[in-house]
């Protein structure tokens, strides 16, 4: 069974760093792209970026390029989304999701990680 | 960046009736269009890909149509569990953007 299990909710202050995770099981981690999607409070889904764990190749949305870093650790089948300096506006639910085999839509999703940034 | 515009923003329909949701792209995406259902507190669920192909386990009361810049998701006979927010996503060109969503609510 394919599963994407995300790390738990985080409460941080502006300027702090953060790395959230997405651990996958039930398939070969290195064979499928993993993407990240943001949902700000009361808003819709936003495509942030995606990584191919096989070679760590990444594609970022211009809106998120330079604002976050997407990475992966093949040895533990885990993808990451990280910030070096959080802003209040980073408060959101973040989902990881697996890209379907050949095209850039998502067939399996994690349960989401709520990130709250507040002073 | 391709912009997807969904309409209406909110749709009020009674159970058992038909719902028709629209997604319009700012430029052609061919048939590289997916639909997702999102319920509060849950992960989004893939419904349709390739504009009209069902994802695994999706009931056939859901159907997708369209190509190029205009797409439709139709739910033929609404069940109570169908009331949710629906998003379209294009995967023709990066960034692979989502529409802003249509909230389907019980009338």
Secondary structure of chain B in HEC code, one letter for each residue: CCCEEEECCEEEECCCCCEEEEEEECCCCCCCEEEEEECCCCCCEEEEECCCEECCCCCCCEEEEEECCEEEEEECCCCHHHCCEEEEEECCCCCCCECCCEEEEEC
Task: Say what the pLDDT of residue B74 is.
Answer: 98
> What mean pLDDT is predicted for residues B56-80?
96
Distance CA A93, CA B29 (A): 28
Residue A102 confidence (pLDDT) above 90: no
Residue B60 confidence (pLDDT) above 90: yes
Interface mutation target, options A5, A22, A32, A45, chain B, most CBs of B under 10 Å: A45
Q: What average pLDDT does the structure give for chain B?
A: 96
CA distance A66 to chain B (A): 15
| A45 vs B45, B49, B87: nearest CB | B87
B27-57 residue pLDDT tens: 999 999 999 999 999 999 999 999 999 999 9
Residue A101 confidence (pLDDT) above 90: no
> What mean pLDDT is predicted for residues A55-84?
97
pLDDT band at B79 (very low <50, low <70, confident <90, very high): very high
Which residue of A lies nearest to B54 if distances are taken between CA atoms?
A107
Residue A12 confidence (pLDDT) above 90: yes
């Amino acid at each position: 069974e394919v599963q994407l299990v995300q790390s738990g909710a985080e409460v941080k202050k502006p300027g702090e760093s953060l790395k959230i995770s997405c651990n996958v099981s039930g398939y070969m981690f290195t064979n499928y792209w993993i993407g990240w999607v943001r949902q700000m409070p009361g808003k819709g889904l936003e495509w942030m970026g995606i990584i191919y764990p096989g070679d760590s190749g990444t594609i970022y949305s211009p809106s998120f390029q330079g604002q976050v870093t997407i990475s992966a650790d093949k040895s533990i089948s885990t993808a990451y989304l990280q910030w070096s300096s959080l802003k209040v506006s980073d408060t959101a639910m973040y989902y990881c999701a697996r890209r379907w085999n050949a095209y850039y839509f998502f067939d399996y999703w994690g349960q989401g990680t709520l990130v709250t940034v507040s002073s | 960046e391709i912009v997807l515009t969904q309409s209406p923003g909110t749709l009020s329909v009674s159970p058992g009736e038909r719902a028709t949701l629209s997604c319009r792209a700012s430029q052609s995406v061919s048939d590289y269009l997916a639909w997702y259902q999102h319920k509060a507190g849950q992960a989004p669920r893939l419904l349709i890909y390739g504009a009209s192909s069902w994802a695994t386990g999706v009931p056939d009361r859901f159907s997708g149509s369209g190509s190029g810049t205009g797409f439709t998701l139709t739910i033929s006979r609404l069940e109570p569990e169908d009331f949710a927010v629906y998003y379209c996503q294009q995967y023709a060109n990066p960034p692979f953007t989502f529409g802003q969503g249509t909230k389907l609510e019980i009338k």
